[in-house]
Amino acid sequence: MTTAAGPAGRLGRSTPVVESTSLVGSYVSLTFDDGPHPVHTPHLLAVLREHGVTAVFCLSGTQALAHPHVVRAIAADGHVLGNHGMDHDDMSGWPDARIQDDLERTTAAVRAAVPGAAVPYFRAPYGRWGRTPEVAARLGMRALGWRLDVADWEPPGTDELVRRLSSGVTPGAVVLLHDGGGDRGQTVEAVDRLIPRLASRGWHFTTPARRS
């Protein structure tokens, strides 16, 4: 199933969404949604390992249950795990109880593969937030937004992805990419080309801010 970030939903000012790192300067965070994928996620992990980059993987509960060995591989490489809902549903109109049930089941699916795993972030499918940030906060998760979405879910071609990433990245940005939800070979190739390109320009890779 091909999925997209879509337009972001509205948030109250009392519920900030993390969209930047906590570091000043040429730092950027890579985040990946909709996995784990049995083919593309391992390829992406190999690329990140080669370049020494740690990222955030916002996992689908259904995919985590289907591919627990890939969840374990993500955790074993030291990446941060995030909650992306069980089935990529739009939760923006859901009541708190239904949201909580979905988020708890998703975290349980991740921890079925990696018992006791920390899951510090939640990202709303399609970026449609509704009441999800408040519910996620009660479950100990920060709402993880993004500053740069290059629409790799289309997909537009590897060269175009590299161009969008290279020209669109800004200091401290959280970048939204996808390792699942369809054929993500272009994303993997683009990341492999992007990291050394940015590194040669003095950029560093880190994880998003943990505190507002």
Catalytic residues: 33, 178
Neighbours of 101 (CB within 10 A): 13
Q: Could you tell me which residues come within 8 angstroms of residue 182 by beta carbon, excluding any fewer than 6 positions away?
A: 1, 2, 3, 153, 155
CB 9 within 8 A of CB 92: yes
- Tokens representing 185? 């070979």
CB 172 within 8 A of CB 27: yes
Per DSSP (E only), the strands in the chain are 27-35, 56-59, 80-83, 121-122, 142-143, 148-149, 174-178, 204-205
DSSP SS3 for 176: strand
DSSP SS3 for 17: coil
